[in-house]
Structure 1
């Protein structure tokens, strides 16, 4: 009987699980698989963290696969135990202080780390990040009645943290250093609609707000802006972005850029070691989104089975709900010189659509309120196909329903 190849996966997040699902679908029982996750629970949906914080769902609803799924697929799952070292010469992985396992193939899916601003007072108790189950628990403990919370960061995760806190009844203020929220995904008009939706849900919004320091005796008590504004605070949540987790890979001598460098097969500088998801850097780009991680997982599962597959990058598109408001963004956000912008805007209805057209092709789309044409937009932007005569109207107002088939009256 052929000896199974040993596959070790470090990390048990969304990218790791998608890779395991695809691999076991294609070749059940092919590998002897060990998965090591630092968190005490199996992979869960980080997208639901704000809903968990706000009490809309519980931890069980955030889970993907039960422990029985791993067992049924012959996957050895180790949770709550970080990998402490990788010995590439011996092809071994050290888990904690005592457990060592060998590998034929090693996959690093170690994700990313939340960025903490190097602010004076940034290490005070009560200054936290928002990234995992443990952060949700910490925030809930701090979010007592009459608490005042400040969220730093107007990206998606910051908005979600602020909405979650507001749902708990906490006096919540969101600070963002830019003049609009989600500036990478939204133009000014779309961002104003999202800001209004946040304010309707009880979140105070301060834009162009640059934090100077955090102060307090023994724990956070206030936050000072560079313009001199003083904001009382019992809790400060930093949500200003993420950075790839590279320490483990760097310590074992793999090539590192911003993330762990990989080729089109998701292989690192060591052909037996692969990386995917938020920790990986492909062609100079580190993606912090789920869609690229899933595409990378698909490619890696095929490559490990000897198939001819290559990851060539992801054309980024964002489709989500911000404070209950559907939002879609793909391609360019702000209209470049020489391009044409087609805009539909109904502020009362909270509806906004903008198509950016350049050289007869769709270069970008931003929708708020109704995102029903998102799939067609993504396809046109990714392929670069010329727009058909009817595409402008269809993308802006929706594809007309097909005419009912005519019934023949012939005898």
Structure 2
């Protein structure tokens, strides 16, 4: 009977200790998107196919209407590192490390998800994870929605603890089995010793239970501190989203359809166009005009889609004195006047051509412009300053742009030497025409 009580006490302690190594930090219903791990108890020696999934928490109401990017990140000593990412313009998720992923974005909130799986579980799988969703709300405003942090700990089996705790009782049982009737007097003394051992175990049990109570109290306090920290982090992330939105509003090119000459540094960067490399912001085209002795190419940057443009760009061009390239199929932005310059290219074996959004395809290529002279070139105007860009000069002086340096440059075209038919019309940039040459005066901002 005594041995059964000892075994029962040991079993209670083992069962209690086995629940210490659980996964903590699973997203609560307070966030629109949740991050979950499967299986819930992870151990590198037994777990296979560990899976992390970020999806909508159906128990939380949200104003998010359309998701276009989901990322799963892991905390490291230097910050947050990317585990997997899915964007609406990519066919499959981008991943880091030896894992597989599946996802659906560019859909309603309920159908959006990002899931990653590891075939084998190792040390690198444990740590703190978070899911970040970039989306539009019902008012077409950009929103960054994070999940709560998910802290994955390794579940440890208490085998060694069980063996250590039961060794003394096990030895006593073996000794009892070897006793005989002739050893009963000695056995009675041993029974008294067992009683004393049981009393000691009861005392130890009380001490252990007291320590467990203290641990649970500390754990409750720790959970409260973690909850407070999560609230602070959420507040900081909300503030960061506001700052990013404000920054985006400060680095946007004005609304309208137009094109800019491309400097050597590439097309201008516009942070509002978060996927500019995927034909939503500026696309690169060529002004291709054939001259002797070889073809001449000038790259231009054309705004080819106005969908995202309408979402973010609400400011008109500032008043000033300068010109930009006109999109043939579109009107000039408000406040601009149109004009053109026509090139008379070589008559023999060097007929000119230009096929793109800013020049007509005729024997004499025709470039069209949008120009405005609604303010003084000396009065600074606000344009994005995150990367260099080019404007055509108008009125003899380069327009001053706040926060940018400017230098003058020349773009020269050699045209027909005899009976030259170069022509201009409307409002066009400052050009020089010494003989059979057309020189455009440019302003390079950096």
Question: If the length of structure 2 is used for normalisation, what is the TM-score?
Answer: 0.21
Greater CA radius of gyration, 1 or 2? Answer: 2
Question: If the length of structure 1 is used for normalisation, what is the TM-score?
Answer: 0.23
